Amino acid sequence: MTLTHPWARNTMLATLMMFSLSASARELSVSTVLSDAFPWGQAAQKWADLLKERSEGNLTIRVYPNAQLVAGDQTREFSAMRSGLIDAAVGSTINWSPQVPELNLFSLPFLFPDNAAIDSVTQGEVGQQLFEAIDSKGIVPLAWGENGFRQISNSRQPITQPTDLEGMKIRVVGSPLFQDTFDALGADPTQMSWADAKPALTTGAVDGQENPLSVFDVARIDQVGQQYLTEWNYMNDPLVFAVNKRVWASLSEQERQWLRETAQEAGQWEIQQNRDGMAQRKADIKARGVEITSLTTAQYQAFVKATASVHQQWADKIGAALIENAKAAIQQADAQGTD
């Protein structure tokens, strides 16, 4: 008979317990386009931190920033998640709109004047309809985040009216709706990656670009010749926390609850952080010598009128009823704000 020393038995038990815990724990991959230097990446990391704490390490997520799971091609993120290559993502409505046309709602020019307008849509019936559209594509949406309103900058002059954009070469993201918007304003929209855009902006081959203030600030876009920035809130880019439907189905009810609740908490936290930090970002950008222009109501309405045809062009692609529902929600929010 072989006698086992009590110390050895305890060591074996501890090892078996550790193995059992590691076998039961699960890690999901989460894709983001930006790192945690930006609010977008911070949203994903906040989700990871909250989930680890809530589940006591039984369900965790590993964040893969800079769209590295799709070799840097952010337009492939949604398809990769749907196919199961990516478990989950904190993704942009712009990047996902080719697969979910309804998400182009947020890119309609000058539809959303302010944060209250965005909240009235994302947090209401229209937001639920958009989540249903995402769900129909094999992705389970969990919560909203925010990349924010996209503003325009250039190296030539302040932009206060549509005619200021005539002939100006503007770098835009790879979406036909962006192309149509800047065509309507008389600009020369040029689709290119940011890697290509930086040298083009530096040399003056491209005059301007459009991005949220957070991106302009953190990426130091003023260092590539962008001296003039106009706050025009021409479109918004909400983020969506989501998970592959097959992955979702494989989770227990408790794990689903952890994942959804922490996504919602991370989304609310990130939205507030992004908005609270806007005044400081503007001050920092101004301190670096950038001239920031804010539009008057009349100036804003001139851009609304100039791009009205784009709404007509895209009504059938997005869904005319969805657009009308969004407009009604925005009008109601505006009326409540002026009471």
- One-letter amino acid at 121 equals V
Give percent of the chain above pLDDT 90.
Answer: 88
The per-residue pLDDT for 20 is 41
- What band does 338 get if pLDDT is binned at 50, 70 and 90? low
What does the alpha-carbon distance between residue 300 and residue 149 come to, in Å, rounded to a whole number? Answer: 14
| Alpha-carbon separation of residue 181 from 165, 176, 219 (angstroms) | 12, 9, 25
Give percent of the chain above pLDDT 70.
Answer: 92
Give the tens place of pLDDT for each residue, 34-93: 999 999 999 999 999 999 999 999 999 999 999 999 998 898 999 999 999 999 999 999
The per-residue pLDDT for 24 is 62
Nearest CA among 132, 139, 27, 141 for reference residue 83: 139
**H/E element, 118:** helix 115-122
How many Cα atoms sit within 13 Å of 335 on the Cβ side?
6
Q: Are 225 and 155 in contact (CB under 8 A)?
A: yes
What does the alpha-carbon distance between residue 190 and residue 182 come to, in Å, rounded to a whole number? Answer: 9
Average pLDDT score, the chain: 93
The per-residue pLDDT for 265 is 98
Give the tens place of pLDDT for each residue, 292-319: 999 999 999 999 999 999 999 999 999 9
What does the alpha-carbon distance between residue 247 and residue 283 come to, in Å, rounded to a whole number? Answer: 43
- In the chain, where the domains are located: 27-337
What does the alpha-carbon distance between residue 200 and residue 226 come to, in Å, rounded to a whole number? Answer: 12
Nearest CA among 237, 88, 117, 229 for reference residue 177: 237
Question: pLDDT at residue 96 above 50?
Answer: yes
pTM listed for this prediction = 0.91
Superfamily of domain 27-337: Bacterial extracellular solute-binding protein, family 7 (3.40.190.170)
Copy the structure tokens of residue 158. Answer: 């302040």
E strand segments, 97-168: 139-154
Read off the DSSP letter of residue 124. Answer: S
Question: pLDDT at residue 22 above 60?
Answer: no
